Chain A
Amino acid sequence: MFFNDIHTRIRFVILVVIIILLLVIGKVFYIQVISYNKLSNITEDLWSRKMTINAPRGDIVDRNGNVLATSVVTTTIYVVPNQIVDKKKVSEEIAKILECDYDDVYKYVSKNSSMEIIRKGMDLSSEVADKIDKLGFDGVYLVVDSKRYYPYGEKLSHIIGFVGSDNQGLSGLELTYNEYLTGINGELKYYSDGKGNKLEIPDSYVAPTKGMTLELTLDLEMIEAVDNELSNAMDKYNSDGAIAIAMNPDTGEILAMGSKPSFDPTNYQDYSEEVINRNLPIWMTFEPGSTFKIITLASSIEEKTVDLFNDSFTDSGAVTIDGSTLHCWKHGGHGTQTFLEVVENSCNPGFVSLGNKLGVDKLMGYIRNFGFGSKTGIDLNGEGNGILFKNENMGPVELATTAFGQGISVTPIQQITAVSAAINGGFLNTPYVVSSIIDPSSESIIYENKKVTKRQVISEETSATVRYALESVVANGTGRNAYIENYRVGGKTGTAQKVSDGKYLVGNYILSFIGFLPADNPEIVVYVAVDNPKGVTQYGGTVSAPIARSIMMSAIEVLNIPEKDGGMLKEYVYTDTKYLILPNVVGMNKENATKALKDFKVKYSGNGDKVVYMSPKANSFQSVDTTITLMLN
């Protein structure tokens, strides 16, 4: 009886003990299975010391693979003082290689910390790094790092932007595509005990992955040509600024873009925020002036409110609208002209008449359809919107001024994009500078930017007529300074008075030119604007057209644009150098050849009588100043 009572209690105690042990097992199960991942991650960090190996940022290259921004490898020396056995010897050897004081090194090596950096970044050459690596000391680590390098500096700083001290993109493409350009950091991991000594467990090394390569639509040679021309414009005219864009009108690919003032991306801290943040070709808004007439022209042709060749207009030099007198740029006016001549002469009253025929709603509808008043959507940050009148706020005066490009405000990129649409068959495309994102390890394309057509604004035929009219502007009108012999060039000048605080500034203009070639099937369109040039006639035709011409000359070489026959002949004025077709004299004797080339200067080479070779080649337009070399046998 009595034993039974004890036994019951013993069994009760056994039960309690079993429950306790089950609790223990349950808790261990919880720790080892449920919390396994959490605790494993914590302990992995606890047991290992990590050194991050920064991944090099992806390269930025032009359309031909020329490197525009890259990462240069640098090396950093780390020491883990706890792991260094013979601190004196290690300090001595390192000091010898670095050619610095023993004490300088020893102070790091003897420090009571988990990790010290002896040398960081650029000042360590690869030979030095190799030497240190060969010493093979425990606790001395070399970590490869990278630094951004911009071989073309200022020429591309507004497009490419720059990075901060941690290689993070701060502006331009470096910022907008930061996610792609940033690589995946690698790490060197070694295991250590609780006292910081290295354990005999193999180090793990995860190689860094370089960031993606950004391939741009830009062409380095075009960039350099543009930059060169803009620098000249700044020097020659002491201008406040200069802007140029070159674009493929069919696709919207930007071939070159440049502006002054510019900044050096490596030392961006030395420049004002305004210079850095304002990418003028896409940010700056100003009155376009006469280049905008292309839009009015295209709209009128599309709406058939004008017949360029048969309708005529008489310009008295001014037109009075609602009591306001609007003057033509030419004092006294252009007299009676066809509308083609109105375009060639850039006659303001003529365009007022075109605007009136369209009316507010139609004109403004086309202007908006051509992309004005809203961002083009170019893949660069900091784009401006521009300012247009609201239709309901437009009276006859506003309609008149808008028709010839005054009283509205647009960006250069809007202008070149709109004019591209006017001449490419009517298609408004989104301009872009990044053509593709490429994974450098597999060379596979991660993302490809393709032509995006927003809408067709005008018909193919209208576009062809616009091209013809603009070719005529260059051959016979205000754009003559952009004429290139043997090529078909179209274009339009622009002269716009700058506005400050709602008032026009006196003698302060932005002179612009939009040109394209070949005029019948444009491969490139170039926009140039010079802000407040000094000491020169204030017309776009005199300042900007020659700059655009030079850029187009470069484009001919770079893009290998062939010569074209069938273009309009230039109507010569007395100041122009005369160009003539060079006759073919190969095969003639010396006397006949000299006669045939009487308008040119001729140089002979060789002693024979028969011309076997001539340079430049025949049947091309050549300036009468050109020396023709004839090789005689």
Chain B
Amino acid sequence: MKKGFDKPLFVAVILIAIFGLVMIYSASFVWANYKFDDPYKFVKMQGIFLVVGIILMIVLSKIDYHIYYKYANIILLICAILLILVLIPGIGTVRNGSRSWFGIGSLGIQPSEFAKIGLIIYVSKYLTNNNKEMKSIIHGVLPILGVIGLFFVLIMLEPDFGTAMVIVLTLVVLIFISGVKISFFVKIGLVGLLGIAGIIIAAPYRMKRIVSFLNPWSDPLGSGYQILQSLYAIGPGGLLGQGFLKSRQKYFYLPEPQTDFIFSIISEELGFLGVLIVTISFMFIFYRGMLTSLKSKDLFGKYLAFGLSFGLIIQASLNLMVVVGLIPVTGVTLPFLSYGGSSLLVSLASIGIILNVSRN
């Protein structure tokens, strides 16, 4: 029964993670030097997380994924507790306006990132167990939507809109592939649109955000600032880029270029060619995950591999769309490439689990 795991996926992930580390250095050394007097500050931290993450990935690739099926409820419970704890001032710390971190020195851990995996495991198990009930909206779909909604509310309390979006989209699509009627999704789509309309009416500043997304030049120093600075990085990159380390926008023009907007710096330094490489790499990783899901003979494994792969690609897609100005700024990091320990650990862990599924 012992089979090798998906080597192309493993190699692709290692390569993109190392590429990410290099680009984090390039994107962050100006800021790191300014804030910490140490240009290597961010890259050192991320390096540690990368080593830990790769070990974690290899370990998880060896742990039979059925164990998550068994402990899914407990894992979810722990996630819920952590998400509640992080909201309590004194335990959770505020960074960039969100109380979504457990701070240990300069290290920060985001429980919402881990909740992502917890929820995918839980929903996969739910879908496996309630295969028949999923035909029924009331008995099958609504209960699990209720659980998802609860977590959504917890994460929105931090608030971390980006992660909440990623989780909800991932789980809804996961439920979608389980065979729930299409008409239901049309309905929640409509409800969603109404909801968004309601949210905008309730808080008109969000309208401003949308306007600034459509025309960032309308408020270049306010709400349009980030997206404009991102375009200013991408544009001059041209076909081949300014060259590695040669970004100008990272010199205090683009705020915190090593996190959400690292793709701008990649575009600036490596040009359209770099963009193609990054996008194709993500597509390849997603595709390998999907192959694992499609090949899996086990329903739980199928859902799990799909959910984790889709979770990564939807997060990457949202980040890329924000950075290039296709959707308004949501605050989503780019898996493997953005600076952030929790995100990297969770991404590598997801791959580890997928790799284990691929063994079977």
Contacts and interface: CB of A to CB of B under 8 A. Distances in A.
B251 A14 contact: no
A28 B317 contact: no
Interface stretch (B58-66, B196-204, B267-275, B340-348): B267-275
Interface stretch (A15-23, A65-73, A374-382): A15-23
Contacts of A47: 248, 253
A13 B177 contact: yes
Interface in B190-238: 231-232, 234-238
A7 B253 CA distance: 46
A25 B276 contact: yes
Contact of A9 (B179, B276, B282, B320): B179
B330 interface: no
B306 A46 contact: no
A17 B317 contact: yes
Contact of A31 (B176, B235, B253, B302): B235
B15 interface: no
Interface string B118-154: 0000000000000100000000000000000000000
Interface residues of A, number: 36
A191 B324 contact: no
B267 A32 contact: yes
Interface stretch (A34-42, A296-304, A335-343): A34-42
A193 B179 contact: no
A172 to B, nearest CB: 44
Interface string B162-206: 000000000001001111000000000000000000000000000
A10 interface: yes
A14 B177 contact: no
Contact of B30 (A6, A38, A193): A193
Interface stretch (B36-44, B108-116, B286-294): B286-294
Chain A binding surface SS class: helix
B339 interface: no
Contacts of B176: 9, 13
B52 interface: no
Contacts of B325: 27, 31
A43 interface: yes
Nearest to B310: A13
B267 A24 contact: no
Given A10-B290, A13-B177, A40 B283 contact: no
A199 interface: yes
| Residue of B237, B248, B272 most packed against chain A (CB within 10 A) | B248
A194 B221 CA distance: 13
Chain B binding surface SS class: helix
B19 interface: no
Contacts of B178: 6
B279 A35 contact: no
Contacts, number: 112
B252 interface: yes
| Residue of B178, B253, B324 most packed against chain A (CB within 10 A) | B324
Nearest to A18: B283
A20 B317 contact: yes
A312 B160 CA distance: 116
Contact of A46 (B232, B286, B294, B310): B232
B321 interface: yes
Contacts of B282: 21
Contacts of A31: 231, 234-235, 324-325
Report, as a range, how many residues of chain B touch the other chain. Answer: 35 or more
Contacts of B252: 193-195
A536 interface: no
A350 to B, nearest CB: 82
A14 to B, nearest CB: 6
B326 interface: yes
A33 B238 contact: yes
B232 A39 contact: yes
B51 interface: no
Nearest to B286: A17
Contacts of A35: 231, 235
A5 interface: yes
A78 B49 CA distance: 48
Nearest to A10: B177
A29 interface: yes
Interface in B287-346: 287, 290, 293-294, 302, 306, 310, 313-314, 317, 320-321, 324-326
Contacts of A23: 321, 326
A64 B321 CA distance: 70
A14 B293 CA distance: 12
| Residue of B178, B236, B272, B320 most packed against chain A (CB within 10 A) | B236
Contact of A24 (B237, B306, B321): B321
B239 A28 contact: no
B236 A33 contact: no
Contacts of B293: 10
Interface string B231-264: 1101111110000000011011100000000000
Contacts of A46: 232, 253
| Residue of B231, B235, B267, B276 most packed against chain A (CB within 10 A) | B235
A193 B253 contact: yes
A194 B253 contact: yes
Contacts of A18: 283
A43 B233 CA distance: 8
B243 to A, nearest CB: 12
B270 to A, nearest CB: 11
B232 A28 contact: no
A3 B313 CA distance: 22
Contacts of B320: 21, 24
Nearest to B233: A43
B276 A32 contact: no
A203 to B, nearest CB: 15
Nearest to A17: B313
A32 B239 contact: yes
B196 to A, nearest CB: 19
Interface string B76-105: 000000000000000000000000000000
Contact of A20 (B234, B237, B267, B321): B321
B248 A28 contact: no
A28 to B, nearest CB: 5
A186 to B, nearest CB: 23
Contacts of B251: 193-194, 199
A372 to B, nearest CB: 61
Contacts of A38: 235
B276 A13 contact: no
B232 A6 contact: no
B232 A21 contact: no
Contact of A32 (B30, B234, B306): B234
Contacts of A2: 131, 179
Contacts of A33: 238-239, 272
A24 B313 contact: no
Contacts of A29: 272
Contacts of A14: 286-287, 290
A5 B235 contact: no
Contacts of A193: 30, 251-253
Nearest to A27: B324
Contacts of A199: 248, 251
A18 B253 CA distance: 32
Nearest to A39: B235
A94 B229 CA distance: 38
A370 to B, nearest CB: 64
27 contacts: A3-B302, A5-B179, A7-B294, A10-B294, A10-B306, A14-B290, A17-B310, A17-B313, A17-B314, A21-B282, A21-B283, A24-B279, A24-B324, A24-B326, A27-B324, A28-B234, A31-B235, A32-B267, A32-B271, A39-B232, A43-B235, A43-B249, A46-B232, A46-B253, A193-B30, A193-B252, A199-B248
Given A33-B238, A38-B235, 11 more contacts: A6-B178, A21-B283, A21-B317, A28-B272, A32-B235, A32-B267, A36-B236, A42-B232, A43-B235, A47-B253, A193-B253
Query: Top 10 closest A-B pairs, CB basis?
Result: A39-B235, A194-B252, A193-B251, A9-B177, A194-B253, A27-B324, A24-B320, A43-B232, A28-B275, A40-B236
